[in-house]
Amino acid sequence: MDRTRLRRKPQRGSHDRAVIDAIVDEALVCHLGFVAAHGPVVIPTTHVRCGDVLCIHGSAASAMLTSLATGIDACVTITLLDALVYARTAFHHSVNYRSVIAFGRATEITDRAGKLAALAALLDKLEPGRSQRCRPPNDKELKATSVLALPLTEASAKVRSGPPVPDDTPEDAALPYWAGVIPLVTARAAPIPAP
């Protein structure tokens, strides 16, 4: 587990599965890193956690999915930005965040039942029950879609929360600048029906 050892600010880190799972489940997008012929590549994609694995999907013709399906090393990173942290000194400005980094190799889900379950879970993550409120994939659509599973076993979380760190000196503490936290909130706006 050396590659999940937290080097920078280890006090912010956790290998607690409940912490990791909650971050993975709240985030709608992950960033997948792998090494292509020309070097490192990072691709954003949607995901859903199914137990111990992260499921992603896309076109069966996707270069990323076909590369990952060969079992190359991958790194998946998930980040939730919670707040801007203003301090009285430039140095102590920060952000509050919750992130997960997982290392592993993907495997393709090829059995029909497993594939349908993962695709349904992707929809139900957007809105509980959504997979029951649309036509399920037909054979042609299923064939055109690849679904991969990435293990979440080798994962760590990192979290910063709360106010800026205390000022280093009484002089800094006496500075006339505002310090505190500006929370960032993501919400769903009014739905726009399709034309």
Contact flags string 5-44 toward a copy of itself, x per CB under 8 A: --xx-------------------xx-xxxxxx-xxxxxxx
What is the distance between the alpha carbons of residues 170 and 113, in angstroms, rounded to a whole number? 64
- Residues 135 to 154: which contact a copy of itself by CB under 8 A? 135-138, 141, 144-145
Query: At closest approach, how far in Å is the CB of 161 from a copy of itself?
Result: 12
The torsion defined by the Cα of 107, 24, 155 and 152, in degrees rounded to 10, comes to -30
CA 62 remoteness from chain centre:
20
For residue 15, the minimal CB distance to a copy of itself (Å) is 17
Nearest alpha carbon to residue 150 among 23, 31, 36 = 31
Task: For the beta carbon of residue 192, count every other beta carbon within 10 angstroms.
Answer: 6
> Which region among 13-21, 48-56, 93-101, 107-115 touches a copy of itself (by CB under 8 A)?
93-101
**For a copy of itself, the closer CB: 25 or 127:** 127
Q: Is 46 a residue that touches a copy of itself (CB under 8 A)? A: yes
